[in-house]
Amino acid sequence: MSSKRILLIIGGGIAAYKSLELIRELSRRGVASRCILTKAGAEFVTPLSVSALSGEKCFTDLFSLDDEAEMGHIQLSRSADLVVACPATADLLAKAAQGHANDLASTTLMATDKPVLMVPAMNVRMWEHAATKRNVETLRGDGVHVMNPDEGAMACGEFGSGRLPDVAVIADAIEHQLDMLSGPKPLDGQHALITAGPTREPLDPVRYLSNHSSGKQGYAIAGALAALGARVTLVSGPVSLSPPRGVDVVPVETAREMLQACEEALPADVFISVAAVADWRPSMAAAKKLKLKDEGKTLPSLALSENPDILSTLSKKEKGRPGLVIGFAAETHDVEQLARAKMKRKGCDWIVANDVSGDVMGGDVNEVALVTPDSVEHWPRMDKIAVARQLAERIAEALKGQGGEQVAAE
């Protein structure tokens, strides 16, 4: 039980009624809510019901003399441990991403010095709109924790992503954020090294071999480990993601550059190899752009060389091996058996096997099994941020009691 307080901004969407359930659920968990209701939010729930459930005055207006006399908007923005926007509408996300401050909710989001969690809910087309995607990226880059909405039937009759997650799931995320704020963190003093994204293997100055990896899972793991207090080095292939807050990103292109950057980043207490490293590279990368008619050939053949295996190389180090080495394995069948064979071949301690038979690559959800030498856990299908958080917690448990990077460096 926590005795924390959140500042809850209730935006104007059909899901606003669930914010009332959220206030009750949080109160049951010992978390108090002070609420701001936007003008649009007040079309769906009333200040009276918000106030009755939260047991406090519900704030609505930036220019209210009464409200300002009671608690100025700057003071209000700092009066809780965490600011939560739920439901966060497309408009609220856009205002927050662009730094608008023309009503009480947006001004509070601008003025607060506290962490912010936003829980979007909107029509599927609005959620998938390029503008919303840009805004979410910007907010995440600014260090705002933006949850992914659920998929399913919507109040408007359409189907897809955009539904507010279950109230219990939102309350869990809020409690998790609140726990992160208090006291020492489980990974303080530990160094985590992560690879993410694809590699690009050049053929000539304008062409390369690569794959569809988005980097989302690796970036989420880096963010989750940093949130638990680890110093995080993220060696990343080319992706279009903003670096998570507090993470040191080393950008690379090729597998060989990725290996070199990892070697340079050692020592580390944990190494997580999430990158989709290209297994091969063109044996020769031409210095000049290859021409269709080079040497009179119309269809040149491509000679390939094997890339170094970064996971194997770091796993099998005799000196300076990270204390815990975790690989990923993309499988469509016989998950446990294939993961164990891979673990043995590559010498790593755990394998996170993801079922890639569906829409995992590039998508926001993942279904994984955590395979360790003496166990296998099948985790339910969940968004990549939730997978990252759960894995980070397991890593923290495994590293508990180990000395951290000072010891590793000796």
| Both structure tokens of 48 | 């009276």
- Which part of the chain contacts ligand CTP (CB under 6 A), choosing from 166-174, 224-232, 241-249, 307-315? 307-315
C-beta closer to ligand CTP: residue 67 or 201: 201
* d(C-alpha 407, C-alpha 293), whole Å: 59
- Give least dist CB 399 to ligand CTP, A: 19
- Give least dist CB 69 to ligand CTP, A: 58
The residue among 287, 80, 328, 95 whose CA lies nearest residue 196 is 328
What's CA 388's distance to the chain center, in Å?
Answer: 7
Name which position in 254, 328, 370, 386 contacts ligand CTP (CB under 6 A). 328
Q: Is 360 in the site for ligand CTP (CB under 6 A)?
A: no
Binding mask 247-266 for ligand CTP (x = CB under 6 A): --------x-----------
- Which part of the chain contacts ligand CTP (CB under 6 A), choosing from 29-37, 51-59, 275-283, 380-388? 275-283
Looking at 244-383, which runs of residues are DSSP E strands? 247-251, 270-273, 280-282, 304-306, 324-331, 350-355, 365-366, 368-372, 375-378, 382-383
Name which position in 35, 230, 277, 365 contacts ligand CTP (CB under 6 A). 277
- Which part of the chain contacts ligand CTP (CB under 6 A), choosing from 21-29, 40-48, 303-311, 394-402? 303-311
- Give least dist CB 261 to ligand CTP, A: 12
| Both structure tokens of 329 | 């394995």
Please provide residue 198's backbone torsions phi and psi, each rounded to the nearest 5 degrees: -90, 170
- Give least dist CB 363 to ligand CTP, A: 17
Q: Is 175 in the site for ligand CTP (CB under 6 A)?
A: no
Sites for ligand CTP among residues 108-147 (CB under 6 A): none
Name which position in 310, 324, 371, 387 contacts ligand CTP (CB under 6 A). 310
Q: Are strands 350-355 and 159-163 parallel, antiparallel or unpaired?
A: unpaired
Cβ atoms of 368 and 389 closer than 8 Å: no
Percentages of the chain per state (helix, strand, coil), in multiples of 5: 35, 25, 40
- What is the per-residue DSSP string for 171-193? HHHHHHHHHHHSS--TTTT-EEE
C-beta closer to ligand CTP: residue 98 or 332: 332
Q: Is 32 in the site for ligand CTP (CB under 6 A)?
A: no
